[in-house]
C-alpha cells in the first residue's frame, strides 16, 4: 500500500476519534434550571451560591430563588447560603437530554452567639468618674496612626541597623570620597579655622564630657 494511503487513513482515524470525543462531551453537557426554597414553608431563598464542586465555577440564585447553571453529567453541585445548612446534589449520569429541573430545599441552621451581659452604672457620679478615668484601648486606626508618626519612624530609622543596600551605598560613598584625592595628599583639618571653630563650639556645649 502506498505511503500516501497510509497517511490518509491515519488522518481519517484521528478525525473520527476527535469527532467521537466531541460528541461524548456534547452528550454529557446539561443545563440545570432550579429553585432554592425553604424545607419547612417552601419560601424562596434568595442569594444562594450554587457551585460546581472542584470546578471553581458557580452562580447565585435570584431574588426569587431561581438559578440556572451549565455543568456535566456526574458533577456535584454545592448549595451554600448564610443561615442555612450546606447541601450537595450529584447530577445523575443517566439523564436523557440536555435540560434538567431541580427544586433544592434548604434547611435553616441555628447557631448561638456568646452570652453578653449588660449592667447599668450605679449613678451619675459613677458615670462621670468612669468617663474620666477609664482607660479605653486604642482601635486599629489609632494604633496605625501612632505607628506611622514622623517621630516614631525617625526613631526606628535611627536605631535599626543598616541592611545590605544601605551598607553598599555607604561603602560606595566612601570610595567616591576617597577617589577625589587619588594621586595627592588629603587635606589636614588641623590648620582649618572652620574645624577649630566647630571644635570650640562642641567644647562649650559639653560634647566631650563623660556621661554616666
What is the pLDDT, as a whole number, of residue 121? 66
Distance separating alpha carbons of residues 208 and 206, to the nearest angstrom = 5
Distance separating alpha carbons of residues 103 and 173, to the nearest angstrom = 75
Q: What is the DSSP string of 82-128?
A: TTB--EEEEPPTT--SSEEEEEEEE-B----PPP------S-HHHHH
What is the pLDDT, as a whole number, of residue 67? 93
Which residues of the chain fall below pLDDT 70?
Answer: 1-26, 121, 210-212
Tell me the helices (H) and strands (E) count for the chain, helix number first.
6, 7
What is the pLDDT, as a whole number, of residue 7? 47
What is the pLDDT, as a whole number, of residue 19? 46
What is the pLDDT, as a whole number, of residue 51? 92
What is the pLDDT, as a whole number, of residue 25? 63
Domains of the chain: 3-106 (2.60.40.1120), 124-167 (no CATH)
What grid cell was written down for 56? 471553581
What is the pLDDT, as a whole number, of residue 24? 57
pLDDT digits (tens, 9 = 90+) for 59-116: 999 989 999 998 888 899 999 998 899 999 998 888 888 888 999 999 988 777 888 8
Amino acid at each position: 500500500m502506498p505511503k500516501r494511503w497510509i497517511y490518509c487513513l491515519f488522518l481519517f482515524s484521528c478525525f473520527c476519534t476527535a469527532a467521537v470525543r466531541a460528541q461524548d462531551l456534547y452528550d454529557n453537557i446539561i443545563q440545570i434550571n432550579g429553585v432554592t426554597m425553604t424545607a419547612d414553608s417552601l419560601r424562596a431563598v434568595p442569594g444562594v451560591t450554587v457551585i460546581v464542586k472542584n470546578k471553581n465555577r458557580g452562580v447565585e440564585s435570584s431574588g426569587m430563588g431561581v438559578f440556572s447553571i451549565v455543568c456535566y453529567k456526574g458533577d456535584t453541585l454545592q448549595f451554600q447560603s448564610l443561615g442555612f445548612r450546606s447541601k450537595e446534589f450529584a447530577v445523575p449520569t443517566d439523564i436523557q437530554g440536555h435540560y434538567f429541573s431541580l427544586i433544592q430545599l434548604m434547611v435553616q441552621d441555628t447557631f448561638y452567639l456568646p452570652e453578653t451581659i449588660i449592667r447599668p452604672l450605679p449613678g451619675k457620679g459613677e458615670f462621670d468618674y468612669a468617663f474620666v478615668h477609664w482607660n479605653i484601648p486604642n482601635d486599629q486606626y489609632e494604633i496605625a496612626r501612632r505607628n506611622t508618626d514622623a517621630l516614631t519612624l525617625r526613631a526606628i530609622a535611627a536605631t535599626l541597623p543598616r541592611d545590605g543596600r544601605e551598607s553598599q551605598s555607604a561603602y560606595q560613598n566612601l570610595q567616591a570620597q576617597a577617589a577625589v584625592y587619588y594621586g595627592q595628599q588629603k587635606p589636614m583639618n588641623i590648620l582649618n579655622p572652620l574645624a577649630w571653630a566647630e571644635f570650640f563650639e562642641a567644647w562649650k556645649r559639653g560634647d566631650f564630657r563623660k556621661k554616666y
